[in-house]
Amino acid sequence: MSELRQNLVTRDWVIIATERAKRPDEFTQHNKPVTQSPAYQPHCAFCLGNEDASEVELFRLGDRHQWKVRSVLNKFPALSPVGESDIKVEGIYRSMNGFGIHEVVIEHPCHNITTGILDINDVADILRAYRQRYGEIRQDPRIKTITIFKNHGERAGTSLEHPHSQIAATPVVPPQIRNRIAEAIQFIDDTGECLFCRTLKDELAASTRVVVESEHFVAFIPYAALSAFHTWIFPRRHTSSFDDINDAEILDLAYTLKTVLAKLYYGLHNPDYNYTIRSLPTNEQSTDYFHWYIAIVPRLSYTAGFELGSGMYINTVTPEDSAEFLRHVQIPKSPVCTNEVEG
C-alpha cells in the first residue's frame, strides 16, 4: 500500500507510491550522451578568450585570460539593478518595478564539463564566488532575498551548455521562504529546538537516507522527498546565512556537493537537475531557528495534473532506496579539461 509522508521543514505532504514503485536504476538515462561538445566553443561567450563578449564583469578569480570563475551581469536579466523598490497599491492590485540583481556565475573555462566531474578545488572556487557575491549583494538595503541556483540540462530550464549558475536578488521575500521561516519559528516555540538541527540529528540516527557524510556537512534524501533522488545538504554547524560559511567549510562543502553530483552523474548518466541554496533573508544574519542548506532536485519526472491541482507530489521510489542506490555508486577519477583555445 502507498504511504503519505509529511516534510516538517516544508509542510508538504508526499505520496510514496509503492504500488507503482520503480527501482532506482530505472531512472538511469541510458540514451543521454555525457559529453555533447568540445572543451572550447569559439562562439560561446563564456569560453576562455571570449571575455569581451560577456556583460559587465562583477567578480573574477584568477587573471583576466587565465581565470577560474567569473560572475557577470545576466545578458537577459529578469531583474534590473536600476531603480527603487517602492510598492504601488491600486485597490486589490499591488506592483513594483523590476528592480533586483541577476548575475551569471561562469563556473569553469571548460565548455563541456559539469560540477560532478570537476576537481574539488574547482568546486570550492565556485562556492567562494557565491560567498563573495552574496556578501556584497546583501549590502544593498533594497535587497531582501538572495537566491543562488543552478539549472543543469534542458529539463531543468537551461539553454546554455557552458557550466554556469545564477544569482538572483529580489526586493521581496518569496512566500516559500516566508513559509519555511514560519514553520521553523513555530517548531522552536513548541519544542525549544531548531527544526533543521533536529532533522539532521534524526536523519543521522536513522542513517538509512544518508548519502554522504563529511566533517562539516551531511547529504541525505529527506524522509518525505518530493521526487526521486531529491537531496538536501545540511551544515552540521547551526548557521542561518550562507555567507557565514568559513574557509574550512567551503572546502568540505565542495567535497560533499561534488560527491553527490558525481553519484548522480555516474549513477543516473548525467541527469538534468536544479540545485538552490536556501538562506535567511538579508535583514538578519543569524537566528536560533533557521539553518541554511542546499536542495538538489534531479529532473527525472514531470509535474502533472495531480501535482498542479493538489500541491502534493507523487514519488515513485522510496527515499531509503534512493539513498542506498547513491551510496553504492562508484566515482571514477574525474577527467581533465585542458582549456586550450583552438586557433
Contact call for residues 96 and 79 (beta carbons, < 8 A): no
In which residue are the cell numbers 538562506 written?
279
Please give the torsion angle defined by the CA atoms of residues 189, 191, 192 and 198, in that order, rounded to the nearest 10 degrees. Answer: -120
Distance (Å) of CA 254 to CA 114, 209, 267: 13, 21, 19
Catalytic residue, candidates 111, 164, 230, 291: 164
Rounded Cα distance, 343 and 340, in Å = 9
**Which residue from 216, 176, 151, 199 is spatially nearest to 319, judged by alpha carbons?**
199
Tell me the three state secondary structure of residue 25.
helix
Rounded Cα distance, 61 and 125, in Å = 8
Rounded Cα distance, 111 and 94, in Å = 42
Rounded Cα distance, 326 and 330, in Å = 9
Rounded Cα distance, 264 and 271, in Å = 7
Rounded Cα distance, 127 and 236, in Å = 17
Residue 164 among the catalytic residues:
yes
Task: Give the strands of the sheet with 3-6, arranged side by side.
Answer: 3-6, 13-16, 313-315
Active site residues: 164
